[in-house]
Amino acid sequence: MNEADLYTPASVAAYRRVGAIALRAAVLSSFLALAGCLGFGGDKEPEPEPETAAGELYNQGLAYMEKGKTKDAIGRFEEVDRQHPYSEWAKKAMIMTAYAHFKRGDHAETITAAKRYLTLYPSGADAAYAQYMIGESYFRQIPEITRDQKATREAMAAMQEVINRYPDSEYVDDARDKIIKTRDQLAGKEMQVGRYYLERREYIAAVNRFKVVITEYSDTRHAEEALYRLTESYLSMGIVPEAQTAAAVLGHNFPDSPWYKDAFTLLQTGGVAPQENKGSWISKAFQKVVG
């Protein structure tokens, strides 16, 4: 083929047809690329999980719980709530979510889930258990005596709610037992701080801490030592009548206590003996408790 043949009418027409096809292909390619960027075609967004029967999801959660797969169980129970909100299955799944978190030792998550149940279903069949789980979760976070006792106070308040709101529930006896332990812990904290001030000879600050034990926690095992420490503190400040009263109240209520023997000996070194002043705040506070 010579150079003139390249420019025959037929060759020119064919060239134009090829060019048009190429142009359309290029435009289509550009459109597809743009569509992919805009979300049309290309990689699709993952399809949402198809709705499953509430009972089936709940039973899947129970099956995971039986296998010890609490994380997977929580996922199933939460899916019940997501797909079937406010249903009876969702109500049951919500308390099971709290329980699964409790089994995992996730205290904050347990409290959140249980409080949500109580907000939505305050009179629900599992309301007492939800409140008890809140108290137990706080109780298991109680720190050593030298640390801040916020969790102890939260545990005591939550367990008191079990008693106040659900007095006929099966959790009341344990709630009472936990309250006794939290009160003892809080009294112990006051004693720890009081002894610290006493060692530093900051007697007024020490007395204020021991006073809390007598006025608020006199039914705990720390009351005996608190009365002895009051004897010691008042005697150190030269307020002898109050020291005598503290020792007398200690001897009257705990005659066999080693703390009373120490208080008696301490007063003897100062040339005095236990003698109760009925007008003292110590005497009044203990009379109120006993009465």
| Domain range annotation of the chain | 54-185, 201-290
pLDDT in tens, 53-101: 999 999 999 999 999 999 999 999 999 999 999 999 999 999 999 999 9
At residue 153, φ and ψ (nearest 5 deg) are -65, -40
Tokens of 238: 């030269």
Among candidate residues 182, 107, 174, the one with its CA nearest the CA of residue 150:
182
Tokens of 12: 């020119």
- 54-185: which CATH topology? 1.25.40
Asked if 130 and 118 touch (Cβ cutoff 8 Å), the reply is yes
d(CA 270, CA 238): 10
Task: Please name the residues in contact with 275: beta carbons below 8 A apart, sequence gap of 6 or more.
Answer: 241, 244, 245, 248
d(CA 177, CA 289): 20
Model pLDDT, residue 60: 96
Q: Which residue has the tokens 């009418």?
A: 9
How sure is the predictor about 286, in pLDDT bands with cuts at 50, 70 and 90?
Answer: confident
Task: Please name the residues in contact with 88: beta carbons below 8 A apart, sequence gap of 6 or more.
Answer: none
pLDDT in tens, 4-48: 343 333 333 433 443 443 334 443 344 334 444 444 444 555 555
Q: Look up residue 74 and give its amino acid.
A: I
Q: What is the mean pLDDT of the chain?
A: 87
pLDDT in tens, 36-65: 444 444 455 555 555 789 999 999 999 999
Q: Look up residue 61 and give its amino acid.
A: G
d(CA 182, CA 154): 9
Q: Could you tell me the pTM of the whole model?
A: 0.79
